[in-house]
Structure 1
Amino acid sequence: MPNKGSHNFLIIEDNPGDFALIEEFLFEQIEAPVVAHASTFKQACAILFTNTPLFDIILLDLSLPDCTGISLIKEIVAIALNAPVIVLTGYADLNFGVRSLSLGVSDYLLKDELTSITLYRSIVYNLERKRTILELAESEKKYSQLFHLSPLPMFVFDWETLIFLDVNDAFIKNYGYAREEIIGLNLEKIKPCEATIMPETMPLNGAQYQENSSGILKHLKKNGDVIQVDIQSNFIQYKGKRAKITIATDITERLNYIQAIERQNEKLLEISWIQSHIVRAPLARIMGLVQVIKELKDDDKEKEMTLDFLLSSANELDEVIKKITDKTQ
């Protein structure tokens, strides 16, 4: 039973008998193929430059009146607009077939061995490969957009060599390197001398292996500033290499703010201890001395001594209050 669905085909074939056979094969396996025909290279160019919608598959004979062989392949592949080109030829030349595939041809079939099944299998395979390639290209495009447009610094490095493979715009802005300066350098370039080996660069194996890693590390900017970064990283395949993609969020200001709050809290705790222990001592003495003065009789000398003690305690309390005031500045 013919495969349901419709596909657009361009058959470039100057032999009427071969064209009729190929068209028949298509209708045997596909329910409603849309077929266009060109018998010369010139006609093929005119169709490809004006055709809408685009062709799904181009079936190409290599012996046309106005162009043949390698030259024909190069010309058709160049204007095929990503449509897979399947070569149909009567010449069983293995070396030529290999070379044609290296020039961008999707498949190479011999006319003497051609059947509706072999042609259909090649068409299905190449349509699926085209779909996969388009999906991969779209996926790479989305990755590129997410990577380069991210407001957070991101970089990709080779897991084995620790070499930078890619960095985004936010990384360039935050670290101060131009892309051409950092690509190809080792991760050691952004590690301060006093910093320990970054966890994300330490080889993991066996039970130690983790699919992702994170932590707060020190990084070195191009201008020499040391920053604290929150690292989130994961393994990826990047252009055929095992790599890691890493987000490095600069948290230097946040940590400085937290440290400032912690120092302020320490001061407040010290102030609280001063108020509860040191301030209360002279205050208790003053309260006791006031009571003593109330109970004294007319002994001026004893009153004078008591008042001296009272003044001394008041001065002591005044000094303590000054220290508390200084702490709160």
Structure 2
Amino acid sequence: MKPIKDHKPYQILIVEDNLGDYTLIVDYLEERFESPVISWAKNFKDAKTILTDSNIKCDLILLDLTLPDKSGEELITEIIQLSHEIPLIILTGYSDINFGIKSLSLGVSDYLIKDELDSNSLYKSIVYNIERKKTLLQLETSERRYSDLFHLSPQPMWVYDIETLRFLDVNLAAEKHYGYSLQEFLGMTIKDIRPEEDIPELIERVEFLNQTKGSYSMGTFRHKKKNGEIIYVEIQSNTLPFQNTTGRIILANDVTERFTYIDAIEKQNEKLKEIAWIQSHVVRAPLARMMSLIDIIKNYGIDDNDNEKLLTHLLESAEELDIIIKDISRKSEGINLNKK
């Protein structure tokens, strides 16, 4: 039963100086691929010409270790430099098997022994390494996007080790906002940016988060900058694998201005309450006396004997009321409800 052929139009470069080996490889390819696009380079010079030609696309390279103009490690190194992330499979003989294994450390995707080669093993290696390379490139792209989102974020961000509490990575916004350099941060723990009296609460919260299944967390805490300034910070965090350990990524939003504004409003409200109390209690006493005196004068009249005494009491109450009004005015001047 003939194997089902792969219909994907893979473009494969064979770098092989031996016509017999080249013909055999082509036969194997055509046995498993419906319409492979094959390019042939008989030496390194031809391979370089093909790989530097922008009009020629290549999905994978099959490379013989020994060419007339270049061989061995030097050949592999230069082909890799020209290949631009194209998967490279080494074709080697038994005498080169040890070097074939070593070549994996140079960036080679796979190595195949020529004498054991058949259409199935060649097909599996080609498809596996092409798809593997695509997956690695997607992963690298994803990591670059994460790095850009992290390091270029306008909000301070960092990652710390959930066990040691040491900073593992810090973005530029955090460096600028807290005043520490990256190297300084990497020599610190998250305890170093907390006021001394808040550290017990920090340890307790970290232990709680480490024991809790849910990884997301948020809250508002006090932080300390390098210059000693205390700020209020709204924290959002989540756990993630990082550098062979488990880290917690932090997004920090400085809300000190908001806290300051709320505190100012609360103090202003206290002053307003005090003024309201003065108006409803303190003002009432001299005002009531003045109204009583005026009522006496209006309804009963005054004679010369009482005139001076009544007027004196009226003046005293007026002066007391004037002092109270001035005190209210002074307290009112300290209130600025438009403060931002």
TM > 0.5 fold call:
yes
Report what 1:65 is aligned to.
Answer: 68
Aligned mates of 2:209, 2:256 — CA distance in 1: 32
1:24 pairs with 2:27 = yes
Percent identity, aligned pairs only, is 51
Per-residue deviation at 1:297?
A: 4.3
Alignment of 1:72-91 (within 5 A): 72-91=75-94
Per-residue deviation at 1:206?
A: 7.9
Contact persistence 2:194–2:222 (CA under 8 A): yes
Q: Which moved more, 1:66-75 or 1:9-18?
A: 66-75
1:244 pairs with 2:228 = no
RMSD of aligned alpha carbons? 2.2
Per-residue deviation at 1:199?
A: 6.4
Aligned mates of 1:97, 1:303 — CA distance in 2: 124
Aligned residues: 329
Q: Which moved more, 1:176-185 or 1:221-230?
A: 176-185
Report what 2:147 is aligned to.
Answer: 144
Equivalent of 2:162, from 155, 159, 162?
159
Report what 1:56 is aligned to.
Answer: 59
1:16-37 CA-partner distances (Å, limit 9, x unpaired): 1221121222222223221111
Report what 1:211 is aligned to.
Answer: 215
Report what 1:172 is aligned to.
Answer: 175
Report what 2:9 is aligned to.
Answer: 6
Question: Structure 1 residues 142 and 199, CA, compared in 2 at 3 Å: closer, same or farther?
Answer: farther
* Structure 1 residue identity aligned to 2:223: H
1:171-197 CA-partner distances (Å, limit 9, x unpaired): 121111222332242222222223234
Aligned mates of 1:206, 1:78 — CA distance in 2: 45
Aligned mates of 2:161, 2:126 — CA distance in 1: 38
* Structure 1 residue identity aligned to 2:251: I
Report what 2:274 is aligned to.
Answer: 270
Q: Which moved more, 1:113-122 or 1:183-192?
A: 183-192
- The secondary structure found in structure 1 opposite 2:196 is coil
User: Where do 5+ consecutive residues of structure 2 fail to align?
Assistant: 334-340
Alignment of 1:84-103 (within 5 A): 84-91=87-94, 95-103=98-106
Equivalent of 1:283, from 271, 282, 287?
287
Question: Structure 1 residues 48 and 184, CA, compared in 2 at 3 Å: closer, same or farther?
Answer: farther
Report what 2:322 is aligned to.
Answer: 318
Aligned mates of 1:192, 1:298 — CA distance in 2: 72
Report what 1:107 is aligned to.
Answer: 110
Per-residue deviation at 1:198?
A: 2.8
Q: Which moved more, 1:86-95 or 1:289-298?
A: 86-95
Question: Structure 1 residues 200 and 23, CA, compared in 2 at 3 Å: closer, same or farther?
Answer: farther
Aligned mates of 1:121, 1:201 — CA distance in 2: 51
- The secondary structure found in structure 1 opposite 2:249 is strand
Report what 1:46 is aligned to.
Answer: 49
Q: Which moved more, 1:207-216 or 1:217-226?
A: 207-216
Report what 1:134 is aligned to.
Answer: 137
Per-residue deviation at 1:126?
A: 1.0
- The secondary structure found in structure 2 opposite 1:37 is strand
Question: Structure 1 residues 295 and 201, CA, compared in 2 at 3 Å: closer, same or farther?
Answer: closer
Question: Structure 1 residues 20 and 298, CA, compared in 2 at 3 Å: closer, same or farther?
Answer: closer
Contact persistence 1:227–1:250 (CA under 8 A): yes
Report what 1:191 is aligned to.
Answer: 194
Equivalent of 1:303, from 297, 303, 307?
307
Report what 2:233 is aligned to.
Answer: 229
1:304-328 CA-partner distances (Å, limit 9, x unpaired): 3222222222122111111111111
Contact persistence 1:153–1:169 (CA under 8 A): yes
- The secondary structure found in structure 1 opposite 2:198 is coil
Question: Structure 1 residues 204 and 93, CA, compared in 2 at 3 Å: closer, same or farther?
Answer: farther
* Structure 2 residue identity aligned to 1:265: N
Aligned mates of 1:45, 1:298 — CA distance in 2: 123
Q: Which moved more, 1:195-204 or 1:222-231?
A: 195-204
